[in-house]
Chains A and B, each alone.
Chain A
Amino acid sequence: MSAGSLFWLILYGVATLTFFSVASVITFFGIQDLRSLLSKANRGDLKKKNDDSSNSDRADSRREMQ
């Protein structure tokens, strides 16, 4: 096997190992995040925080303040 092939295959090995490792960690913590998001949504916390949503409105109001 040539040095060039070996270089790319080692890089492939590192990238693949990193992908599956990070994916496992993300899966574990992602479940907790998902539960947290859905419990907030169930309690209606999101609605209270986001009723001031439209960015265009914010831009308009800011311009009027100048």
Chain B
Amino acid sequence: MNFHLIDWLILIVYLTGTVYVGLRARKYVENMEGYYVAGRKVKVALGSATLIATEIGVVTFMYFAQLGFLTGFSCFILGVIGFFGYMVIGKTGFIVSGLRRLKVITIPEFYELRYNKSVRWLGGVLLFLGGVLNMGIFLRFDGIFLSEAIGLGEQAKAIVMVIMLIIVISYTVLGGMFSVVITDFIQFVILTFGMFISTVFVLAKVNFHTIASTVVQQYGTSGLNPITNPQFGWTFLIWMLIGSIAISALNQPAVSKSFASESPEVGRKVFLYAGLTLGGRYMIPMLWGVAALAVFGSHINSLVAMPRLLGSAVPSGLLGLMVAGMLAASMSTYSAYLLAWSTVATRDVVAPLLKSRLSDDQNVTMTRIIAALIGIFMLVFGLFYKIPSTAFQYLAITGAMYAAGAFACVVAGLYWKRANVIGAYSGLALGAAAPVSFLLLSLFKESLPKSLLFLVDVNVSGLLSFVLAGAGMVIGSLATQRSHPPVIISEPSHGEKLEGGLHVSR
């Protein structure tokens, strides 16, 4: 066991403190917007901290480290692409400012404003399914990380998963976005410290020269060149280029931080500052993975290598702090994701099916129940599902399931006057088709005819989802302009004052 008494004490103090603070935040929730978007009063630095904390979790450390282990320095290109995506959004306010100006709480609410209620429902279902499948493997990675880093062994994985889940659900379900924002901030500080400690001790154990030599020895030029690397190539890089903008701007847990900001301008800046850290967020764990390759060689399991390295490199005392930092990263991710997907399920999937309107209290209660159910799903799915590709590619393909259609519907809805309801249906359905085919056909990969094997290439499916969604939106809209005239949402003219600063015309 790598953990000693001092490490356990640090961990217990941290966990108890987080739950206490998270539960105390419940007192700030006075109405529905307080629960869902913290009253839309979050400023730039706090918003940036919570966005970064949301997007860093043990699962991100694990899949980036796995990529580093399996592809060498080639995967660093993802940091460059991701940085580019965030900068586009942060500099221009692309998508996020438009949505924040409309004061929506979830992305499907925009579908109702721009298209109709049925598009909102379909978009809500896809967003929820893609999001929950995406989140389904998070707990499993936490279980692997903690049991390896602490040294508990494989058999402790399920117990670790259950404890993590109970802690996060307890404060997220009760405190809503206030809890998420406050605990995210604390977790941001601790996780940054944890990343710093880990990096220092990993580099003390393995120097840059050894790491670089290992990459060249193991992978040759494909460890340095993402285009020639068999895991990547042009298809993957183009998919990532489009996907990085789409998923960054339309990932409900992340974009809800922009919705919670005090103005559209603040929402844009949150993405700008969070974007500045993106290269580091990707490359720091990737280098841990490459360092693990240098220390253990290529025969060890690619997922287990990084946590085992951290467990052996970081000394007792600091190991407790490092694990607390990693746990902080995960808890902030879970809390934001649980809240985001349960909000979508309540407001965009369940509520439209009910005959009577839900009151604010009923909305919040239903969100809490759904968050708890998602938690149980994560536990079962995490324990039994076998991932058909690398963890990163699995997350990217489930992300594409909702992001491709959402990207077509939101971008066209905000910036193209001719986008209409038929285009929206086509975009959503076609955007989800390739990722769903990939996930289903991967289960029967061995019995597929050769002509259909391209559908189980994760990179082809991912890129195809965006191409099909865009084509569906454009062709569907242009072909049905007369039968389904577009709904236009526009800013009011001078002197005209409408609620929310908007009006809708058909």
Contacts and interface: CB of A to CB of B under 8 A. Distances in A.
Interface of A: 1-2, 4-6, 8-9, 11-12, 14-20, 22-23, 25-30, 32-34, 36-38, 40-42, 44-47, 49-56, 58-59, 61-63, 65-66
| Interface of B, helix, strand, loop or mixed by DSSP | helix
B45 interface: yes
A37 B31 contact: no
Interface in B12-49: 28, 30-34, 38-49
A19 to B, nearest CB: 2
A58 B499 contact: yes
A33 B284 CA distance: 27
A37 B46 contact: yes
A32 B44 CA distance: 11
Contact of B49 (A12, A26, A36): A26
B281 A54 contact: no
Contacts of A42: 28
Given A12-B283, A16-B199, A38 B46 contact: no
Contacts of A56: 109, 112
B192 A37 contact: no
B192 A27 contact: yes
Given A4-B224, A62-B503, 11 more contacts: A15-B282, A16-B199, A18-B277, A19-B281, A33-B45, A41-B178, A46-B31, A50-B39, A55-B102, A55-B103, A58-B499
Interface residues of B, number: 69
A49 B39 contact: yes
Contacts of B34: 41, 46-47, 50
| Interface of A, helix, strand, loop or mixed by DSSP | helix
Contacts of B104: 55
Considering residues B102, B199, B504, which has the most beta carbons from chain A within 10 angstroms of its beta carbon?
A: B504
Given A54-B32, A62-B502, A37 B279 contact: no
B171 interface: no
Interface in B94-133: 102-105, 109, 112-113
B354 to A, nearest CB: 12
A22 B83 CA distance: 14
Considering residues B42, B48, B83, which has the most beta carbons from chain A within 10 angstroms of its beta carbon?
A: B48
B79 interface: yes
Interface in B32-78: 32-34, 38-49, 52, 73, 76
Contact of B279 (A15, A47, A65): A15
A30 B270 CA distance: 12
Contacts of B503: 62, 65-66
7 contacts: A4-B221, A15-B279, A28-B45, A37-B42, A41-B39, A53-B32, A62-B502
B225 interface: yes
